[in-house]
């Protein structure tokens, strides 16, 4: 089976590139972050949690691989002390055979085991996909919140505008000064979308890499179990021998 360490390398390498780019443009990023720091901080926390979940999807494969390697060594008297998580359907299907380090599966048992393992992997990936969508949602929510404040500020400027003054130049000067802050806020309100969409892209790439590691693990597991599967049902084979 393929080693998930390669996936961890590419995930870490990608995050290192993102960190370097962030350092190079740190000044505009800080300015954009402080424009709506409440939502941006929440987006950053969600991103960190999502990154941890994607790494967990890869790290959880290592004990499963160690559990499988104990069967593939072929050493007699080797016992499995710790029950795996992803491969729990396989461990339950083997029963006492796992303690004797030898087993065979029927085709129906093989399909049941593989379906159970595949569903467990899908459950893990669904959580990460939810965090990706959550980042986009928080980015849009922060933007709409900022735009709402901008609209209220523009309405207040228009309401306080005194058109009864004889000097039109002073009226336009007051209007310009009053609209300056709302217009600046309108530009910086989109910072939440910037961080939200950027975070979803980062987490999406990591989720793809974690998914590739899980797919390679599943393919290797399927090939291994196929090699120890009885293609003929034992009952039918006994009937033929009679």
Q: Which DSSP string corresponds to the chain?
A: ---THHHHHHHHHHHHHHHHHHHHTHHHHHHHHHHTHHHHHHHHHHHHHHHHHHHHHHHTHHHHHHHHHHHHT--TT----S--STTHHHHHHHGGGGGTT---EEHHHHHHHHHHHHHHHHHHHHHHHHHHHHHHHHHHHHHHHHHHHHHHHHHHHHHT--TT-S-HHHHHHHHHHHHHHHHHHHHHHTHHHHHHHHHHHHHHHHHHHHHHHHHHHHHHHHHHHHHTEESS-HHHHHHHH-
Strand partners, 105: 229
pLDDT score, position 76: 42
At 61 the pLDDT is 86
pLDDT for res 77: 43
| Beta-bridge partners for 230 | 106
| Statement: residue 26 has pLDDT above 70 | yes
Contact 196, 138 (CB under 8 A): yes
pLDDT mean over 201-221: 89
* More confident site: 180 or 3: 3
Q: Give the number of other CB atoms < 10 A from CB of residue 205.
A: 16
113 and 93 Cβ atoms separated by less than 8 Å: yes
Quote the CA–CA distance of 194 and 234 in Å, as a whole number: 61
Average pLDDT over residues 68-78: 57
Q: Which pLDDT band, with edges at 50, 70 and 90, does 185 fall under? A: low
Task: Give me the pLDDT at residue 204, please.
Answer: 93
Q: How confident is the model at residue 123 (pLDDT cuts 50, 70, 90)?
A: confident
Instruction: Please state, in angstroms and rounded to a whole number, the distance separating the CA atoms of residues 14 and 201.
Output: 12
Instruction: Answer yes or no: is pLDDT of 157 > 50.
Output: yes
Confidence of residue 64 (pLDDT cuts 50, 70, 90): confident
């Amino acid at each position: 089976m393929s080693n998930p360490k390669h996936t961890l390398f590419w995930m870490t390498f990608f995050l290192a590139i993102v960190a370097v780019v962030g350092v190079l443009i740190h000044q505009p990023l800080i300015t954009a972050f402080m424009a709506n720091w409440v939502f941006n901080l929440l987006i950053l926390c969600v991103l960190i949690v999502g990154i941890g979940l994607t790494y967990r999807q890869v790290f959880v494969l290592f004990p499963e691989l160690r559990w499988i390697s104990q069967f593939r060594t072929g050493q007699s008297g080797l016992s499995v002390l710790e029950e795996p998580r992803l491969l729990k359907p396989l461990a339950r299907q083997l029963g006492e055979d796992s303690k004797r380090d030898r087993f065979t599966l029927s085709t129906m048992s093989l399909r049941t085991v593989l379906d159970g393992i595949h569903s467990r992997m899908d459950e893990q990936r669904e959580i990460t996909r939810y965090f990706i969508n959550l980042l986009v949602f928080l980015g849009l929510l922060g933007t709409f919140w900022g735009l709402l404040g901008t609209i209220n500020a523009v309405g207040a400027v228009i309401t306080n505008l005194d058109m009864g003054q004889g000097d039109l130049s002073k009226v336009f000067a007051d209007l310009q000064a009053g609209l300056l802050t709302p217009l600046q806020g309108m530009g910086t309100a989109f910072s939440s979308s910037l961080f939200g969409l950027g975070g979803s892209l980062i987490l999406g790439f990591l989720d793809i890499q974690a998914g590739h590691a899980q797919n390679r693990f599943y393919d290797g597991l399927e090939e291994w179990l196929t090699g120890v599967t009885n293609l003929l049902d034992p009952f039918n084979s006994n009937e033929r021998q009679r």
